[in-house]
Amino acid sequence: MIKTPLRILLVEDEETDAVLIKRQISKIVENSEIKVAEDFPAFEGLFTSFLPDLVISDYNLPNGTGLDVMETVKSIDENVPLIFITGALDDDELAADTILSGASGFILKKHMPVLNEKLEPLLKQVVYNMVQHEELREQIRKNKIAVHQIYSYLDNMKADDKEQRENIEKIRTNLGKFNIDAE
């Protein structure tokens, strides 16, 4: 069972399917917060206010398609994974196209009785990526602090001769190449 809390936005127009999907997710994720949007306009409103870790979407929706959902997700935050769970598609080529277009996974609703088995590896990958990104963000923060400390040290150095001043300027120039905001 996944212990990391997940915020999931489920885009599903069939209430019974939404209930089944939520039940299957609860078998995999110990602590999930799931919001349901029944159509594309409801999804647009929830996506920016709920800020999900993951979007799970049906492919055929009233007032839009799963590709519309994916396009919106990627335009706002390309790091939010999207998984399609749909019954309308039985076309392997279209499923492959959605994955190539940026979806993180594709599951057919005919697998609903074993959805938790199909969904679990995808959700584990989502959690793994979240943890990886968190470590990267922390490393970037530490690097920014270190660079700021170097800049402070350079500002406080008393350069007595021309060669020292030139060396300090070279260090500043080289640090600037990293495009790290030192403020």
Domain boundaries, the chain: 6-116
What gap in Å lies between CA 24 and CA 7, rounded to an integer?
A: 15
What gap in Å lies between CA 173 and CA 171, rounded to an integer?
A: 5
Taking only the tens of pLDDT, the chain with its 183 residues reads 999 999 999 999 999 999 999 999 999 999 999 999 999 999 988 988 888 999 999 988 888 888 899 999 988 888 889 998 887 655 566 666 676 677 887 787 888 888 889 899 989 998 988 887 777 756 766 777 777 678 777 777 766 777 777 887 888 787 776 654 444
What gap in Å lies between CA 175 and CA 170, rounded to an integer?
A: 9
Distances from the Cα of 131 to the Cαs of 37, 61, 125, in angstroms?
27, 32, 10
What gap in Å lies between CA 12 and CA 86, rounded to an integer?
A: 9
What gap in Å lies between CA 126 and CA 79, rounded to an integer?
A: 10
- If you ran DSSP here, which 8-state letter would residue 13 be given? S
What gap in Å lies between CA 57 and CA 70, rounded to an integer?
A: 9
- Fold classification of 6-116 (topology level): Rossmann fold (3.40.50)
Task: Please tell me the pTM assigned to this model.
Answer: 0.70
Tell me which residue has tokens 């206010």. Answer: 49
Strand partners, 57: 11, 84
Angle of CA points 102, 17, 10, to nearest 5°:
40
What gap in Å lies between CA 13 and CA 58, rounded to an integer?
A: 8
What gap in Å lies between CA 59 and CA 31, rounded to an integer?
A: 26
Distances from the Cα of 110 to the Cαs of 90, 103, 113, 122, 154, in angstroms?
10, 19, 8, 18, 64
